[in-house]
Amino acid sequence: MSLSSPQQADQPDVGEQQPGLDGPPLARTSLDRASHHRQDEAWLAEAWKTGLVLIVDIAKGGRALVSGASSDNPALVLVGADAAPEGERLFLGIDPGGVPIFAVDAPLPETDGAEPRSLRDIGDRLDARDAGILTAAAALGNWHATHLYSPRSGQRTTVMEAGWSRIDADGAQMWPRTDPAMIVLVHDGVAGPEGVCLLGHNVAWPAQDGVRRFSCLAGYVEPGESAEAAVVREVREEVGVRLRSLRYEGSQSWPYPGSLMLGFTAVADRNQTIVVDPEEIDEARWFTRRDVARMIAGDYVDPASGVRMSLPMRSSIAFYLVERWLGDSLP
């Protein structure tokens, strides 16, 4: 049986960046998921022989082997079927070159010139192909690791549909679920270096090397709630601030373990009294664009406490929202 990409000559090349996917780092992908092949066992068997496999260690935070990990252009290390470890074969899709891509959850082998890295470490520096592959592998692998048993019957489940569902002995299937969560950068709407944004420090975040990390406000969308309503509610609950307006900015998967982050910016009066929820946030404050630029540069020290402050990792949608606001003239 011959293998071919489902793309036809008159269809868009999946290798090109798709419209609307030039935003948050982990929204980028050039992978065709080719879902119509997931139940085609004959096709999958042939695809495995000629495809490439990403080994991903879900137990170690979804790490995979990466070459050039410290460079500006890291790349995933994928192996042929003959070098792949034993394990469930998760079919991720077809890459722009027409190559079937699989993932297997297993400990990472020692490989010369390669180092284990997660999306947190290098997601923003991967190209669209590799970002799409590792994001899908981490998300799907995390779902399998936490759904070995059916929540309906308690029975052991087995993998179906090339890794895209699980089934119990009674034939009841379940499919991967993604939890919607909102994240918002609140700012005052003022242009220029004196414009401010509201960032908070979560009580669960330890200081790393003496650096205190601040980020956007975030929370899960509750049942029966819109994303917009969740933004208004979470900001009010976490810091006691009322919003004047809000705008949707984009989304990206955050497979730790299985969230879809819906990114917003919102405008609020900076003169409102901040009242934090002590179970969620132990400090929230307004930072000027000058402050934020120095936080990105790594040299912002709080004048009151003498503590150095930073932002989240560049692969996060929080960093994306902050960086967009920093460079926005806000006319």
Residue 331 pLDDT: 39
CATH (residue range 179-326): 3.90.79.10
pLDDT in tens, 257-267: 899 999 999 99
Q: Where are the domains of the chain?
A: 25-146, 179-326
What is the average per-residue pLDDT within 89-108? 98
Quick check: 160 pLDDT over 80? yes
Residue 5 pLDDT: 30
* Model confidence band, residue 4 (pLDDT cutoffs 50, 70, 90): very low
What is the average per-residue pLDDT within 145-156? 93
The DSSP letter of residue 103 is E
CA geometry: angle 315, 190, 23, nearest 5 deg: 25
Instruction: For strands 179-187 and 75-76, give the pairing.
Output: unpaired
Residue that has been written with the tokens 């969560």 in this structure: 181
Please state the pTM of the whole predicted model: 0.89
- The two structure tokens encoding residue 284: 């929230």
pLDDT in tens, 6-43: 333 333 343 444 433 468 999 999 999 999 999 999 99
Are 216 and 185 in contact by the 8 Å Cβ rule? The answer is yes
* Model confidence band, residue 329 (pLDDT cutoffs 50, 70, 90): low
Residue 328 pLDDT: 76
